[in-house]
A and B are shown apart, each in its own frame.
Chain A
């Protein structure tokens, strides 16, 4: 019984996901296919890793608005390092991820040790990282080419990409971190009630800082995936992506108030957003329609989640 209750959250989202897939399959003939599955899956590594980071930040009671810009910066660095500096792809990618982690560390240290709201610190970083992305690329899209695309393109043997495998490993790792380790228990405690956590002897500051740093590193990795997906560094990449990540996390049952959240749920939230995007494009929906439907789905999903959690707790 306990098990069912615990997994109801995910089951509910899975049901919505299946409903969405069925709906699109009925409306548009080619939707229900392995090609669609492969396409959708290989589109989502960047959003997935960013959402994992965002979920952890939300659980600890913060928010990270800078992830979209950090993704852009990381992509820019990957492009500039491999083209202008001539570094091998792996080194360029490492540099991008490091840059993301550094931005995240700055976010974390300022938020924690200067006791500022993460909302405003990461809002500042949103501007800074985007500015750096434009500087790094001289505002030009840099074409990298096939050598980086191999990360994001589905492998002929399995239909999945390296990026997708890494993303799924990260989802699994973060789920383990959150549910099976002291670190996970502590950040949940801090997000639920920071004062109580501090009084019970948890040194809260480093945890908040580390979580924001993880989120930055995830955004850096997202930048690598984005550059690989496009085969190019787009300095505008990730514009507004922080909102998609927040939406995916919340659809997946993470509370904006902190203390509650699920990485697996967040991943399912990402899937819902990706299926919606792909399905609407296959239908040929106009831009306004797409926005209307996407917005409505977000609100309805959260409404249902609220309604369900109210009933299941009674």
Chain B
């Protein structure tokens, strides 16, 4: 048996090598070969680079973009090719940077990007622009200072996160008395949209004279949000509200509050309008959330990019609407 083992191993190794090669060939066959389609059809190629496709928000965004592209094919003038890419983890910057380089190499005419980080992604975008690619920034706004350092002018199409969370905070404040206690769960502190949403919440609460007893980061994560909320409920037994910078954290908070038997007293608001939270808003367990209309967000960005490719666009930022979602708007 022992003598046979090395041979056995070599055979396995060969088998593995062949299957890996086979897989690669298969994959190559499946993927859209952009260079060719670009040259043959003459249609512009737009690459949509997003954050995690494990996040419902970006799944909706990709769906919206794909539908838009499918509809565009009906007319010769508007037709374009679309490449959709996301990264594995929200925070995997390196992968997003290499995606941008890959898209340039793949012959994309325009890149529509939802940056995983407001600053670190800028150098890669500068390379793309130098290669003659039109870049449009969606969702999470690039840092103005870094853009200036690179002397870039990249238009931003996206929601005003601060105005959106202010709306949500304001609606919550109407249900609370002055002097009430509230806690805020923010996302990853370095993310611009997290900072904006937190700022919007804080503004609304300050105006209504509601006391913010604690601001903690649950890093956009449901389980972390539930754990932190449980701890907050012990530390602040008189807590009246929890404001969450995304809906996943709102779900986590809701579960912890229910577990503590305080669902009647404590109000929760979120941000994003994911389907699970829409259900809870309908049941009155979560008071409100905000909808950035993800399915339209990428579409706006793509339309902007195509306009720019046709040479008729001034590079100014465009704000997309953020809607307040409450029980009445669901019924």
Contact = CB atoms under 8 A, between A and B. Distances in A.
B55 interface: yes
Contacts of A142: 276
B214 A284 contact: yes
Given A231-B258, A281-B232, A237 B223 contact: yes
A36 interface: yes
Contacts, number: 117
A229 B255 contact: yes
A234 B56 CA distance: 11
A134 B55 CA distance: 9
A65 interface: no
Interface string A210-245: 000000000000000010011110111101000000
Contacts of B247: 141
A235 B59 CA distance: 13
Interface string B252-274: 10110011100000000000001
Interface in A34-48: 35-36, 39, 42-43
B279 interface: yes
A140 B255 contact: no
Given A149-B259, A230-B223, A141 B276 contact: yes
Contacts of B189: 286-287
A230 B227 contact: no
A143 B234 contact: no
B235 interface: yes
Contacts of A278: 227, 230-231
B96 interface: no
Contacts of A43: 226-227, 230
Contacts of A15: none
A236 B54 contact: yes
Interface residues of A, number: 42
B237 A232 contact: no
B275 A39 contact: no
B52 to A, nearest CB: 8
Given A226-B223, A278-B227, A287-B217, A140 B258 contact: no
Contacts of A282: 231-232, 234-235
A57 to B, nearest CB: 23
A31 interface: yes
A141 B219 CA distance: 16
A307 interface: no
A31, A33, A141, A149 — most chain B CB neighbours (10 Å): A141
A267 interface: no
Interface string B216-260: 110101110011101111110100000000011001101100111
User: Of residues B5, B12, B214, B231, which shows the largest number of chain A Cβ atoms within 10 Å of its Cβ?
Assistant: B231
Contacts of A234: 222-223, 248, 251
A44 to B, nearest CB: 10
A11 interface: no
Contact of A139 (B56, B214, B221, B279): B56
B53 interface: yes
A84 interface: no
B280 interface: yes
Interface string B50-66: 00011110010000000
Nearest to A144: B276
B4 to A, nearest CB: 12
B15 to A, nearest CB: 10
Contacts of A115: 5, 9
A309 B90 CA distance: 42
Most chain A CB neighbours (cut-off 10 Å) among B55, B232, B234? B234
Contacts of A231: 251, 254-255, 258
Given A139-B54, A236-B222, A230 B252 contact: yes
A149 B258 contact: yes
A287 B252 CA distance: 18
Nearest to B230: A39
Interface in B260-308: 260, 274-277, 279-280
B90 to A, nearest CB: 9
Contacts of B5: 115
A143 B230 contact: no
A31 B232 CA distance: 10
B275 to A, nearest CB: 6
7 contacts: A140-B276, A141-B248, A143-B276, A152-B259, A229-B226, A234-B251, A281-B228
Given A114-B12, A143-B277, A237-B222, 9 more contacts: A134-B53, A141-B247, A141-B276, A142-B276, A149-B255, A149-B258, A231-B258, A232-B276, A281-B230
